[in-house]
């Protein structure tokens, strides 16, 4: 129906007749001369209709309104002197219409598709209209290029694209499953996969050697800006590999993606251990675009005469006292702001927040009086934290996980308030040597998942005093403070897997009930294997520099897991429930 896309009509075509199609972006009547900006996937081109040249086309143009679908033919000419638009690719030309057809009309738009301040609920109810915007098209054009690059890279590396089931067995993987009732087997349920984890391990046992999939995953969990109930991940698994082999493949995929879409990044990334990440940044996904680090100062506070500090400082295994230096903070923050930071950390469980200000004559602050007999300790604090006049130093004290958390959050809050975060910089880091287990409310669970290989070079599973001291061979790739993905070397021996279940308090019967098919496979010559998964949606969100993952998913859900466009989830009739052997709703009388 067209000879050219709108943005293909350039100066080289001046004098030629072209045919373009698309939507009306805007219409302007200048004293009888009508201008129409026509839009297609590439962008805009200006149409001109003069009643003296073509009366019929002009009458049609009079009735045109925003978002009408047009088919337009005409001759390309240069715009008049001083009338060029440097913001448009087609800003030096226009098309003088010979023929104009209204292919379809549009009702008045419920919102301006180029206005990003429109209420999100309105946009999601009309998502198919929001997708007409240039911003949306650019995002999905980017997503398409990224996906193609991922496939090409993994294909070149010898990986096989294999689809795994969507209807599967419910297994405990950290989040709640979405369940699907079976009509054939009344009272029984499938689960939508939280990840292809178990199936990709089975493919390694099958001898496929290298697998990948752009996989749909489903998790029924609380939502936020970077989380959706259904999401897409780049899923990779390989046999006869170690951690270095897997990281090398992941870095190759990331490098190819970023360079393909125009970003210059290194081909390999730095690494820090999980323990280093928590001690320095209070997070296992640290943002390294700015240099605010925590310093451990428990030993200095052992002599503090304020009991709450000295008592905490005595148990260095369980507790932490962390110092966070803010360069020149004394000249940046008012006393009111300083008090506000204490209010901020209290929201995350802190009992308080201490601080010193570095003055010409030394450290000054509410804590000075508790070091009256040991001034040398304050001098040691100045040296250790490399303080200079004008710096402020905050202190958090308490149980280590709690201190890590709220001081890590304070670090981010300070960076935001001080505008320390460069927006156009990509800073990658691998976090490695994760703990195998974590304990919550007296219950032991796997930090990643229960199929992660413990680092047997550093521990004896038959002689464990502290479960949280066991390291796993697991690794996360972090970009700008966001966990982009992660993976691990998997357990490939049945006896190790059984021991891990035992340490987690999972009985043989429970393990067999939930993981029998995997445990059975491990007894048939399972090779060493490992892999990684990266969130495709999060990757696109970071590349597109948007704040919400909903922007990069064609038809996303709200934070209440609703699709406003289709009104899902929705009630189904009793006949459907009866077919699925589900309880029939009582009809109100």
| Segments making up each domain of the chain, as ranges | 6-104, 137-273+428-552, 290-417
Using CA atoms, how far residue 445 sits from 477, 502, 531, in Å, is 22, 11, 21
Average pLDDT over residues 391-398: 94
pLDDT band of 272, cuts 50, 70, 90: very high
Residue 163 Cα distances to 166, 211, 236, angstroms: 9, 10, 12
Confidence of residue 306 (pLDDT cuts 50, 70, 90): confident
Residue 587 pLDDT: 59
pLDDT of amino acid 441: 75
Lowest mean pLDDT across 216-230, 264-278, 369-383: 216-230
Question: What's the average model confidence in pLDDT over 308-319?
Answer: 89
CATH superfamily of 290-417: GAD-like domain (3.30.1360.30)
SS3 content of the chain, % helix, strand, coil (to 5): 30, 25, 40
- How would you class 464 by CB atoms within 10 Å of its CB: exposed for 0-12, middle for 13-18, buried for 19 or more? middle
Mean residue pLDDT of the chain comes to 92
Region 480-504: mean pLDDT is: 93
What is residue 319's predicted lDDT score, i.e. its pLDDT? 93
**Which of 223-227, 255-259, 476-480 bottoms out in mean pLDDT, i.e. has the lowest?**
223-227
**For a pLDDT cut of 70, what percent of the chain falls above it?**
99
Residue 430, pLDDT > 80, answer yes
Average pLDDT over residues 351-365: 91
pLDDT at 222 over 90: no
Distance CA 46, CA 77 (A): 11
Q: Count of CB atoms within 10 A of residue 169's CB?
A: 16
On the question of pLDDT at 434 being above 70, the answer is yes
Specify the pLDDT at position 586.
65
Ramachandran angles phi, psi of 312, nearest 5°: -65, -40
Task: Give burial (CB, 10 Å; 0-12/13-18/19+) of 244.
Answer: exposed
Q: Tell me: pLDDT of 323 over 90.
A: yes
The domain made up of 137-273+428-552 has a fold known as BirA Bifunctional Protein; domain 2 (3.30.930)
Query: Which CATH fold topology does 6-104 show?
Result: OB fold (Dihydrolipoamide Acetyltransferase, E2P) (2.40.50)
Predicted pLDDT of residue 502: 87
Residue pair 464/470 in contact (Cβ under 8 Å)? The answer is yes
- Residue 589 above 60 pLDDT? no
pTM (two decimals): 0.91
The candidate with the shortest Cα–Cα distance to 427, out of 485, 356, 477, is 477
Q: At 136, is the secondary structure helix, strand, or coil? A: helix
pLDDT at residue 406, as a whole number: 97
- DSSP secondary structure letter of residue 551: G
Q: Taking residues 506-514, report their average pLDDT.
A: 85
Q: What is the mean pLDDT of residues 34-42?
A: 95
Query: Residue 23: which pLDDT band, with cuts at 50, 70 and 90?
Result: very high
Q: Which comes out higher in pLDDT, residue 574 or 46?
A: 46
**Among residues 490, 480, 325, which one has the least CA distance to residue 414?**
325
Element (H, E) at 152: helix 134-156
Q: Is the pLDDT of residue 448 over 90?
A: no
Q: How many CB atoms lie within 10 A of CB 25?
A: 21
Q: Which bin fits 272, alpha (ψ -120 to 50), beta or left (φ > 0)?
A: beta
Q: Could you tell me which of 201, 257, 166 has the C-alpha nearest to residue 531?
A: 201
Using DSSP, state whether 530 is helix, strand or coil.
strand
Q: Other C-beta atoms within 10 Å of 563: how many?
A: 17
Q: What is the mean pLDDT of residues 82-100?
A: 94
* Banded model confidence at residue 439, pLDDT cuts 50, 70, 90: confident
- CA-to-CA separations, 570 to 87, 88, 219, 561, 562, in angstroms, rounded: 45, 44, 19, 12, 9
Q: What is the pLDDT of residue 173?
A: 59
Lowest mean pLDDT segment, chosen from 159-168, 264-273, 444-453 = 444-453
Task: Decide: 27 and 14 in contact? Cβ < 8 Å.
Answer: no
């Amino acid at each position: 129906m067209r000879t050219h896309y709108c943005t293909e009509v350039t100066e080289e075509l001046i004098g030629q007749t072209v045919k373009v199609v698309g939507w009306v972006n805007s219409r302007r009547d200048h004293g009888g001369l009508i201008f129409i900006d026509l839009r297609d996937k590439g962008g805009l081109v200006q149409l001109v209709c003069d009643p003296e040249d073509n009366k019929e086309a002009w009458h049609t143009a009079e009735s045109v309104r925003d978002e009408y679908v047009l088919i337009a033919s005409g001759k390309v000419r240069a715009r008049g002197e001083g009338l060029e638009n440097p913001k448009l690719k087609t800003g030096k030309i226009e098309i003088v219409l010979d023929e104009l057809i209204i292919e379809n009309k549009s009702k008045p738009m419920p919102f301006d598709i180029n206005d990003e301040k429109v209420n999100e609920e309105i946009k999601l109810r009309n998502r198919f209209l929001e997708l007409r915007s240039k911003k949306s098209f650019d995002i999905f054009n980017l997503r398409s290029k990224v996906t193609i690059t991922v496939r090409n890279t993994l294909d070149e590396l010898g990986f096989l694209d294999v689809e795994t089931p969507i209807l599967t067995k419910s297994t405990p993987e950290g989040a709640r499953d979405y369940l699907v009732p079976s009509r054939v087997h009344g009272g029984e349920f499938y689960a939508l996969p939280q990840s292809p984890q178990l199936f990709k391990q089975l493919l390694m046992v099958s001898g496929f050697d290298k697998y990948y999939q752009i996989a749909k995953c489903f998790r029924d969990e609380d939502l936020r800006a970077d989380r959706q109930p259904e999401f897409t991940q780049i899923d990779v698994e390989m046999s006869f590999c170690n951690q270095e082999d897997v990281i090398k493949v992941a870095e190759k995929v990331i490098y190819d993606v970023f360079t393909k879409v125009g970003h210059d990044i290194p081909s390999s990334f730095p690494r820090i251990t999980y323990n280093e990440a928590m001690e320095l940044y209070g997070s296992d996904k640290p943002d390294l675009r700015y240099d605010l680090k925590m310093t451990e100062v428990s030993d200095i506070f052992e002599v503090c005469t304020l009991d709450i500090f000295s008592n905490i400082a005595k148990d260095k295994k369980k507790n932490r006292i962390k110092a966070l230096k803010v360069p020149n903070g004394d000249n940046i923050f008012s006393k009111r702001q300083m008090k506000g930071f204490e209010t901020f950390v209290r929201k995350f469980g802190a009992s308080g927040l201490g601080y010193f200000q570095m003055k010409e004559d030394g450290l000054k602050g509410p804590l000075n009086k508790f070091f009256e007999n040991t001034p040398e300790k304050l001098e040691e604090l100045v040296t250790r934290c490399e303080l200079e006049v004008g710096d402020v130093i905050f202190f958090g004290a308490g149980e280590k996980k709690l201190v890590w958390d709220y001081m890590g959050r304070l670090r981010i809050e300070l960076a935001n308030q001080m505008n320390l975060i460069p927006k156009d910089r990509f800073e990658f880091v691998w976090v490695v040597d994760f703990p195998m287990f974590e304990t919550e409310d007296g219950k032991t669970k796997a930090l990643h998942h229960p199929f992660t290989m413990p680092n047997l070079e550093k521990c004896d599973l038959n002689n464990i005093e502290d479960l949280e001291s066991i390291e796993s061979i697991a690794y996360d790739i972090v970009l700008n403070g966001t966990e982009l993905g992660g993976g691990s070397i998997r357990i490939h021996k049945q006896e190790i897997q059984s021991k891990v279940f035992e340490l987690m308090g999972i009985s043989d019967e429970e393990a067999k009930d939930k993981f029998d098919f995997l445990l059975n496979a491990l007894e048939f010559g399972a090779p060493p294997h490992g892999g990684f998964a990266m969130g495709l949606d999060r990757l696109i969100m970071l590349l597109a520099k948007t704040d919400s993952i909903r922007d990069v998913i064609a038809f996303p859900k709200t934070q209440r897991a609703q699709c406003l466009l289709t009104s899902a989830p929705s009630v189904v009739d009793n006949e459907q429930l009866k077919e699925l052997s589900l309880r029939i709703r009582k009809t109100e009388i």
